[in-house]
Chain A
Amino acid sequence: MKKYILKRILTLLPTVFIVSVVVFLLVHLTPGDPAAMMLGDDATMEDIAALHAKLGLDDPLIVQYIRWVSRCLQGDFGTSTAVIGQKVSDMVFSHFRPTLCLAIYSQLITILLAIPTGILAARKRGRIADMITSVLSLLGISLPSFMMGLGLVLLVAVHFRALPAAGYKDLFTDGLLPFLRYMTLPALSLGFIHAAYMMRMTKTSMLEVLSSDYIKMARSKGVKEHTIIGKHAFRNAFLTVLTVIGQGFISALAGAAVVEKLFTIPGIGTLMVDSIEKRDYQVIQAITLLIAMLNVVINLIIDLLYGLCDPRIRLE
């Protein structure tokens, strides 16, 4: 098992390296001089040159890259160019909790919605559950999350006035109920696309497993149908679904930008979009890097869980 974990981590290193280079270059390709921007219009050439020297902007690219990476590793993502003196890491950190809570909540809804429906659709092929799954997965891939959100707002918030149309309540400071009131619509719109996909994947992998020989064997042993579904089939189908759950979590974090903006939730998505307007590239860089790294880490965790759930992998 240890060897398996180590091997997994080692294969990630090239990806991590490429991601860091891409994110670093992204901001370095930015037109305009960051030093000039930080100092404002009335800065003299000497001031700019001094700041250049101070920030090391005249060093070769590779030196700058190494310096940037080593700072990032220490949790230092530089200072904001828009809000003077504000540390980027503090800004990102303070906006992270709403995003994380929203992502987790939306994934919970997704899982609770998608997996039972997917299993039902696999068991009753061609019946209503199956048809609903097909229609939903078509809708799911066709409706961007913010459109789903706008639709939900129009229907639930504007028409029925059942839930608030926008705003944020924190799970820890405001309590569970307000959190649910405010976050259910964002979580639904964030999770919908993925729920459709997860439904489809659950259905496909359940169908595949249900047609396998070991299910026939289990039936011939006299195992009851619900035990076959729950124990024999789902434990195998879950291996595929696990990967989908990981992807869903990432897409919830990434898709947060749009949904947070729509529901005015003060998460990193909103921070990122606001930073575009303020041309605060340090923040954009930090968020992109953070989410890409989270993606890598989540994939690693999924891989390890996979190894835990599938006895065939451990031996290698």
Chain B
Amino acid sequence: MTDTILSVSNLSTSFRTDRGWLKAIDGVSFTVHRGEILGLVGESGCGKSVTSQSIMRLYEEKRMVRYEGTVMLSGTDLLSLPFSRMQHIRGRDISMIFQDALSSLNPVLTVGDQIMEPLRIHQKMRGDAARAEALNMLRLVGIPAPETRLRQYPHELSGGMRQRVMIAIALACHPQLLIADEPTTALDVTIQAQIMDLIVFLNRQLAMGVILITHDLAVVAQTCQRVAVMYLGQIVEEGGVPDIFDRPLHPYTRGLLASIPRMDGDRRERLHVIDGTVPLLHQMPSGCRFAPRCPYATDHCRKEMPQLRSVSGGQSVRCWREEE
């Protein structure tokens, strides 16, 4: 087995609301290995982004948020680190890229300034050294004429270019782990493919772990080695990509897979739709969270929450039907 970079266990994040503390994610556990891309998939609002931002501890207001569980990064528990130490981890050991590069890049700072910033902070690089490294990074992410780009502002670049810049910023210090939060959702289809190729290329080149957050299973199939499926703040199924795509065990995963349009299928056939919508967090069912929408749900499902159990070949699932 390759060495583990990140191991998240039993991570729960709660936010304070008018109705009291609300658990946005509940007991999330997974690991990421060196050189591996882990796909984190699920519908919007299922807690993918909360998971990633909890790993980075981006919700810092203590009165408003509460973390439980552990997030081990190469032997250190990030959740128990003091805030100042955490700042050294961010951008150096873990980096993050976001969905919308235009709003994620500071409009009043030049591209060069923003790439050099993590270099200055974490590697104490100055002046020409930082500039040279920034140029390297721009070349690495495939930006032509990097010298000009360095002096430009984000709004002067195209959408794909901005995404590349954001990747360059995130990877400037060669982190062990990159969290990509829907990195291609805001882009044109052709650019999407380019950016995904770039992420895969860099993942191999720099031998870093990647958590790819997406709702697009097709992307997962093409790029990831393993995948974790989230539903309502919990992981419902996890395993190797080939296993899960060939043999989805959880009814939700099956539903997700069945809702991908296929070129080879019968075009007249209607796309599969999972009935119902995601319930709100404060109306959480007491049993299995998917039970209200599950076609196979029994009384047992509705009463008692199943646990995530490994089934075979590193695949695990949170469903009573697989227990029997």
Interface residue ranges, A against B (CB under 8 Å): 212-214, 216-224, 231-232, 235-236, 239, 309-312, 315
Contacts and interface: CB of A to CB of B under 8 A. Distances in A.
A239 B96 CA distance: 28
Contacts of B155: 311-312, 315
A221 B100 contact: no
B162 to A, nearest CB: 12
B108 A217 contact: no
A54 to B, nearest CB: 59
Contacts of A231: 109
B56 interface: yes
Interface string B265-303: 000000000000000000000000000000000000000
21 contacts: A216-B58, A217-B96, A217-B104, A217-B105, A219-B56, A219-B60, A220-B56, A221-B90, A221-B169, A222-B88, A222-B90, A222-B118, A222-B122, A223-B117, A224-B87, A232-B109, A235-B106, A235-B109, A239-B108, A310-B108, A311-B155
Interface of A is mostly: helix
Contact of A311 (B91, B96, B107, B169): B107
Contacts of A222: 87-92, 118, 121-122
A255 B210 CA distance: 60
Contact of B166 (A217, A219, A235, A311): A217
B153 interface: yes
Given A217-B106, A219-B60, 16 more contacts: A213-B103, A216-B53, A216-B98, A217-B166, A219-B90, A221-B90, A221-B169, A222-B87, A222-B89, A222-B121, A223-B87, A224-B87, A236-B107, A309-B108, A310-B108, A311-B108
Interface string B48-77: 000001001010100000000000000000
A85 to B, nearest CB: 55
Contact of B153 (A214, A232, A235, A311): A311
Contacts of A312: 107, 153, 155
B121 A224 contact: yes
The 9 closest A-B CB pairs, nearest first, are A222-B91, A222-B90, A221-B91, A311-B153, A213-B103, A220-B96, A213-B104, A217-B104, A214-B106
Nearest to B122: A222
Nearest to A235: B108
B95 interface: yes
A212 B166 CA distance: 15
